[in-house]
Structure 1
């Protein structure tokens, strides 16, 4: 391997690592606030990429219909939870959020999809379809179990992952799709040919990290999420609405995953089940970051991307084994420092 090949591998590792960094940050965010190991994160990536690919053809994707289904189920669950304490104000809010929002998005997509709008507008439409799914998934699957153990929440995540995987097969089919690049430009940097799509991935990763920093440091809702992450019960005692912080964390995670999908869709073919493997690599980065540190998770994600890139060159058949094997020494180290005790 010469310097030119190494440079190409480093570029590929940085590009993949930037995507894994976004997913790792979202996984850490959801876990810190809700104690949920968000396994379905990868499905939102696949949904975002496939939605953009279908929008590129001028057709209406199936995801707005899926969003309507999620909203309808959340609406019925809210009605059931209010069966003993019904309030008209809550009903109006429920209709607007769970039925009005999906219907508005569906109507907008029906009108805008055939117009062949610029690529960035299509990407925004795809993100706007996928982001509210985080809210409905939280309401349907996780909010009723907010006080359950981490093990129960993990089992729930596995169930949600399998359900969304099946829905992806139903709504998108088994064929892979590839979206059009958000920008066709490219330039040379020494021996490298750097595409505008790669630059967009780097820029969006940096912008999202900076945006999350200011959100958590400068906004009241962000500080409420931090308080919930530190001590959920203590946050409730001082008036923080943990249901709001939980739903906010899931919406942010779904938004980040959708953005990752529209960035990743133009550089590789995405299938309905592709997101699971991508999400697992973001999870590896989150584990390496201790499931609690955003900066360390981002650095670890770049490392995961680099290891994957060089492993694909030297031992492509064992690439996934090498990547997932990175967490073994970390887990052993953490287990040695943990205080073991029997739980009731």
Structure 2
């Protein structure tokens, strides 16, 4: 049971990372390879603010707000050039632009804060049916489920959420209804930056996070998104949970190195099966 809880905990963080990739690619056709660096920046900012405010919740909120602002700046500047292109050209241009951005931010982060950090939540452990659940796991599960519930409500019940889904399903029809696809893409990219910030902070509850881990988080996000179907929000969440369980049990019984191989193998299998599913 303890392994299962750890797997669910890791899976929820992976689901958030994959969701950040999926919603941007599904709506705008841009593969955001800088999402892991956004996560790392959020952790570093939270650590810096914690020394000033002495309040972990406030530091986390301010860090998420700061990364959200960074996402807005990136969308209004770099992505404006990307969205002028169409089709495969947009995908390729988006890859190079976000990869270059990730390299730049990673370099600046290494210069400013080369160390890795973790956040202590201060939540006591508890025992359920003989299994000990760490306080960090409880915090991750509660925050993740609350965020998923909020995202579900946003996409299903609010006007902006429904407008976003309309652009995703039929961009021409959305334009005829008076919905601006560009504004919806801005909204989604900013939202993905916020999700990445939360995911990075949650990841730091159990792991060290810094500039060196930014690329690793991006790879994990890509794997989850691929296994989940790239454009499926529900698929990304389900894939994150399944891959979290696979990684945890594989790491516990075989080793961490084999667990990483298992994640890549799952992505390869998903890519091989997708053409058959489409057919």
TM-score by length of 1: 0.74
2:60 counterpart of 1:54: no
Q: What residue number does 2:106 align with?
A: 165
State the distance in 2 between where 1:13 and 1:244 align: 37
Q: What residue number does 2:63 align with?
A: 126
TM-score by length of 2: 0.91
State the distance in 2 between where 1:48 and 1:268 align: 14
Equivalent residue runs for 1:97-116 within 5 Å: 113=52, 115-116=53-54
Q: What residue number does 1:138 align with?
A: 75
Q: What residue number does 1:289 align with?
A: 228
State the distance in 2 between where 1:233 and 1:160 align: 31
State the distance in 2 between where 1:50 and 1:219 align: 33
Q: What residue number does 2:128 align with?
A: 189
Q: What residue number does 2:266 align with?
A: 326
Whose radius of gyration is greater, 1 or 2? 1
State the distance in 2 between where 1:337 and 1:123 align: 41
Q: Secondary structure at the match of 2:167?
A: helix
Does structure 2 retain, via aligned residues, the 8 Å contact 1:28–1:286?
Answer: yes
- Quote how far apart the aligned CAs of 1:171 are: 2.7
2:223 counterpart of 1:308: no
Q: What residue number does 1:154 align with?
A: 95
State the distance in 1 between where 2:172 and 2:82 align: 15
State the distance in 1 between where 2:104 and 2:175 align: 31
Q: How big is the alpha-carbon RMSD for the aligned residues of Structure 1 and Structure 2? A: 1.9
What count of residue pairs does the alignment treat as equivalent?
A: 274
Q: What residue number does 1:71 align with?
A: none
- Quote how far apart the aligned CAs of 1:222 are: 1.3
Q: What residue number does 1:317 align with?
A: 257
Structure 1 stretches lacking a partner, 5+ long? 1-6, 59-112, 340-344
Q: What residue number does 1:34 align with?
A: 28
State the distance in 1 between where 2:59 and 2:255 align: 38
State the distance in 1 between where 2:143 and 2:221 align: 16
State the distance in 2 between where 1:153 and 1:327 align: 21
2:200 counterpart of 1:261: yes
2:204 counterpart of 1:279: no
